Amino acid sequence: MQSMTSTSSHSLYSQLRESITTHAFLAAIGAEVWRRGHFDAEILRAEFDAGGHDLVITANGVTRHIQLKSMRVSGRSGSWSTSQRLADLPSGCIVVLHIDDTDLRVRRFGLFAGPPGDPLPDISNYRETKHSKGDSTGNKSVRQGRWDVPRSKFEIYEHVADLYDALFVPELLDRG
């Protein structure tokens, strides 16, 4: 049996890891919805993300289409591939869960988004995403309608309450 802290476990069991981290995110956001008394919230999960998103969450009168990504806290991901379809949706965003290598707890959150109610910032100026595997000559073709958003473009939040504010509380923007 593999060690609990094995780096290879993250790739070998990536679907299990994705399921666990998605549930952890939903539990954290759900608890924040509850704490704030936003009981008219809705959380919808996509069966597949052909629309560019994994979740649709409505809270505090704001609907967000969310592409959920994860990375190990010790990971070195430099960017995340994103679909133009997400950018075409109102209030689309990318949330990156920075997870502990050993126990999968979410340690912090990365967010690439416009203000609540606004679309995703323009992604067309970023590098186009290439396929991970090359053709018979080794050429990796461009994945149509996808761009790599650099890690540096993500705001980092240590607490789910702060992430919730950035996602669902437009009135905080006026407090400047």
Residue 1 in any domain: the answer is no
Three-state secondary structure call for residue 49 = coil
Residue 2 in any domain: the answer is no
- Is the CB of residue 52 less than 8 Å from the CB of residue 112? no
Banded model confidence at residue 153, pLDDT cuts 50, 70, 90: very high
| Domain total in the chain | 1
Residue 176 in any domain: the answer is no
Residue 141 in any domain: the answer is no
- Segment 113-134 mean pLDDT: 86
Q: What is the rounded radius of gyration, in angstroms, for the C-alpha atoms of the chain? A: 17
CATH of the domain at 71: 3.40.1350
Residue 43 is part of which domain span? 7-130+146-171
pTM higher than 0.95 for the full model? Answer: no
Greater confidence, 144 or 113? 113
- Is the CB of residue 138 less than 8 Å from the CB of residue 54? no
Residue 136 in any domain: the answer is no
Select the highest-mean-pLDDT range: 78-87, 123-132, 137-146: 78-87
Residue 138 in any domain: the answer is no
